[in-house]
Amino acid sequence: MAVPGSSARFLEKAQTLESDQFFLDLEDSVAPLAKPGARPGVVEALNQGSWGNRIRVVRINDVSTEWAYRDVVTVVEGAGANLDCIMLPKVQSAAQVAWLDLLLTQIEKAVGLAVGRIGIEAQIEDAQGLANVYAIAAASRRLETIIFGPADFMASINMRSLVVGDQPPGYEADAYHHVLMSILVAARANGLQAIDGPYGRVKDDEGYRRAAQRSAALGFDGKWVLHPNQLPIANEVYAPTQADYDEAELIIEAYDFHTSEAGGRMGAVMLGDTMIDEAARKMALVVVAQGRAAGMTRTTKFERPEGAVRA
């Protein structure tokens, strides 16, 4: 859930929503003249707010601005113990991530926080960032997440559309496929999460759903929500369907059984009309983990084949 760091009303509302993470924004949702004044509000919201076990993140201004270093210093000195990650927008190079990593280490040492606990989320938002995404994703042990920023990215490449995160009219294929896949591969190659960015038409639920389904199908872990209406859609789209979750649990159980002594030590077997093997099990483990994380429960049970010996 994205929350403008300068708005007390939004800060309060965000504490009532069931998102996995929220971020308090000091960047593009805060006007330049309001930026210095927004920092104390963010510190207070982190220290006083009831954020439950959601991941607590602050988006600072990008490294090319005069605000970036003081954003980090004020927020981490004032509320570092109540902060999980800093989001760094418009990342263009590995060196920019390294800058944030070093600055965080200096502040953590100065104020007595555990060194290295605060993570980094990097936003890929322009052509240069995308061109360097593999180096960026490997730039720091603090990195937890790579995020796609469609609005800035669309502007950066002159994409012909004014709707943030939607397909540009006139192009029949998915205009974001290369971008999303590059971010996803860079993230996974480094054991990081991949998160899709905002969809601008906050009252267009179907538009949000379409955009979310594309990145969810590729394997993204989630997507920003700009409005509470988008939250249930995201929670639904990024969780597996009940049928997929049930099937994945069955695959794990069936594979465990068939590879066992009692099941005949088989490496590849049929489950219904599908062949399952070690790779199929790995795919199923992903879906099982997502389903369990979403609190899903099974509606089917694995039946041992007739005549199987009990182990």
Which residues of the shown chain bind ligand GLV in the complex (CB under 6 A)?
A: 89, 123, 125, 149-152, 164, 197-198
Least distance between ligand GLV and beta carbon 293 (Å): 25
Q: How far apart are CA 196 and CA 219, in angstroms?
A: 10
Smallest gap from residue 3 Cβ to ligand GLV (A): 13
d(CA 88, CA 6): 18
Q: Between 41 and 197, whose beta carbon lies closer to ligand GLV?
A: 197
Integer Cα distance of 218 and 221 in angstroms: 9
**Residue 147 CB, nearest approach to ligand GLV (Å):** 8
Which residue, 41 or 149, has its beta carbon nearer to Mg ion? 149
C-alpha to C-alpha distance for 162 and 280, rounded to whole angstroms = 41
User: Residue 218 Cβ, how far from ligand GLV at the closest point, in Å?
Assistant: 18
- Interface with Mg ion, residue 149, by CB under 5 A: yes
> If contact means CB under 5 to 8 A according to the sort of partner, which of ligand GLV, Mg ion, none does residue 237 touch?
none
Question: Residue 126 Cβ, how far from Mg ion at the closest point, in Å?
Answer: 9
Determine the longest span between alpha carbons in the chain, in angstroms: 76
Which of 6/290 has CB closer to ligand GLV?
A: 6
Cβ-based nearer residue to ligand GLV, 167 or 290: 167
Look at residue 150 and give the partner it binds from ligand GLV, Mg ion, none, a contact being a CB closer than 5 to 8 Å depending on partner kind: ligand GLV
Q: Is 200 in the site for Mg ion (CB under 5 A)?
A: no
Q: Tell me the per-residue interface mask from 208 to 237 with Mg ion, x by CB under 5 A, - otherwise.
A: ------------------------------
User: Taking Cα atoms as reference points, which of 205, 240, 202, 204 lies closest to residue 221?
Assistant: 240
Q: Give 145 or 290: the residue with its C-beta nearer to Mg ion.
A: 145
- Between 125 and 144, whose beta carbon lies closer to ligand GLV? 125
Considering only 148-156, 211-219, 225-233, 271-279, which stretch makes contact with Mg ion by CB under 5 A? Answer: 148-156
- Distance, CA of 251 to chain centre: 27
Site for Mg ion in 109-128 (CB under 5 A): 125
**How far from 199 is each of 19, 125, 212, 231, 305, CA to CA, in Å?**
16, 14, 9, 12, 48
Query: Among 225, 173, 161, 235, which Cα is nearest to 198's?
Result: 225
Minimum Å gap between C-beta 206 and Mg ion is 24
If binding is defined by CB under 5 A, does position 150 make contact with Mg ion?
no
The residue (of 151 and 231) whose beta carbon lies closer to ligand GLV is 151
Minimum CB distance to Mg ion, residue 27 (Å): 7
Site size toward Mg ion, by CB under 5 A: 3
The nearest distance, CB 196 to ligand GLV, in angstroms, is 10
Nearer to ligand GLV, 27 or 249 (CB): 27
- Say whether residue 152 binds Mg ion (CB under 5 A): yes
Contacts with Mg ion by CB under 5 A lie at 125, 149, 152
